[in-house]
Amino acid sequence: MSITIKYHNREVTGWSKNITLEYKGDEYLVTLYWDNCDGYDITFDNKTNSTPAWAWKLIEIDNGDENLYEMLDNLTESEDK
Burial of 65 (0-12, 13-18, 19+ CB in 10 A): exposed
pLDDT at 63: 84
**Domain edges within the chain:** 14-80
* Residue 79: pLDDT band with limits 50, 70, 90: low
Q: For residues 8-13, give the mean pLDDT.
A: 93
Q: Tell me: the pLDDT tens digits for 18-27?
A: 999 999 999 9
pLDDT at 35: 96
**Global model pTM greater than 0.95:** no
- Alpha-carbon separation of residue 40 from 2, 34, 59, 71 (angstroms): 42, 4, 10, 12
